[in-house]
Amino acid sequence: MARLSRQEVAWALYDWAASAYALCILAGFFPIFFESYWAADLTAPQETFWYGILVSVASLAGAILAPFIGTFADTGRSRKKWLVVFAVLGMCCTCGLILVGRNNWPLAGGIFILGTVGYYGAFIVYNSLLPIVSPPKNRHFVSGLGFAMGYLGGVILFAASIALVKNHAAFGLATETQAVHIAFLAAAIWWLLFTLPLLFLVHEPSKDQPPTAMRTSLVQLGKTIREMASNRSLLLFLIAYWLYIDGVNTVVSMASNYGKTLGFSTSTMLGTLILVQVVGVPSTLLVTYLAGRYRARPFLFAGIGLYLATVGYAAMMPTTPIQLFGFSLSSLYVLGFLVGCAQGGIQALSRSTFSLLIPPERTASYFGVYNMLGQYAALLGPLMMGFIARITGSPRWGVASLVFLFISGGIVLMCAGSVEKSTSGGGS
């Protein structure tokens, strides 16, 4: 692996920037504040129903728009301009949540949907810049560096925001609501500040603006889909990715619900969320460094295998504290450690492997489809979990059913063969 360039580091810093929205808004304060403030006048079943609808609509909108966003970015003069458009949309919506009053959950939900579309749209363009900023021999590690920076940046801001909310009186704030509003503002500012290195230091190859960008974009999208369908290795890789990343995303999206069902406290679940981020930093860097030095494919299989072990542990873990190296700790922390070890590596290597399979002049178009699959990849898993849990009467069997996604994803990945193009310093 060659020494990292300023462009590569600046690119990775955007993950640090956008993690403010991913962790502090999507996973952290929005669901809690929605239940306790914006939807305080709803019953618990009503709140759960409408929150689920909002999350589903936001994800579905991001998935539907993803291939179009990628194609428009490819046919335009600058991908970075599209990144700015969507990132600024997300930042403005994050700030806009501050202005929403109590019990006005429809307005909060609408702003949340727009902000989430902005977040996902910017990430499509961000992913498409990876082949531009990083040569093949560095690609796996730089992709991993982005995820690691995202974990680290997210946990720093999230921990600081939690401290502010829990100790709001010590900071001279009258209510928790004021503290949460400051946390929203801090997330937007954080997102803005750490986006600047990418804007100023990442340079795109110059290209002419097509005279009919919209029509050209739609034609290009059709061409991209046909090319993907005709490339057997790429198609099988995408099918495998859709299957195993569905399992990954289901573990993330259903973890809180599963933890509550088993009786774990909110503080334990928040601690586990932070643990996942902290463990994810070194594990992601290590896995992607080794993948760049040797081959990525074995580490993708290792990630799938580790997730199989993680799901197996989750299905059988005790709800009482366990003894480990003479210490008593929650079994949920062990689960968080396993997820932290597996999550970043499999996500980063999937992204970098895909980037090595696609035409460099149309990366945004291809990543639009890639991100669409990622968005749709939290549909089958939750349905499986819910259905199996319902017919067996046990959420543990619901979690255990996720092994199907990882096993089938691994089998399809095996059928895809050595999908990654040869690179100096590391192959597939």
Cα separations in angstroms, 69 against 223, 253, 272: 15, 25, 34
pTM confidence score: 0.83
251 vs 239: CA distance, rounded Å: 19
**pLDDT interval class at 258 (50, 70, 90):** confident
**Taking the domain 6-203+215-415, which CATH number applies?**
1.20.1250.20
Sequence-ordered list of residues with C-beta below 8 angstroms from that of 206, at least 6 positions apart, any chain: none
| Chain segment 32-89, per-residue pLDDT in tens | 888 888 988 888 767 767 877 887 788 888 888 888 887 777 666 678 888 999 999 9
Q: 348-379, pLDDT tens digit by residue?
A: 999 898 888 888 777 878 888 888 887 776 66
When pLDDT is averaged across residues 374-388 and rounded to a whole number, the result is 75
- Tell me how far apart the alpha carbons of residues 31 and 266 are, in angstroms, rounded to a whole number: 13
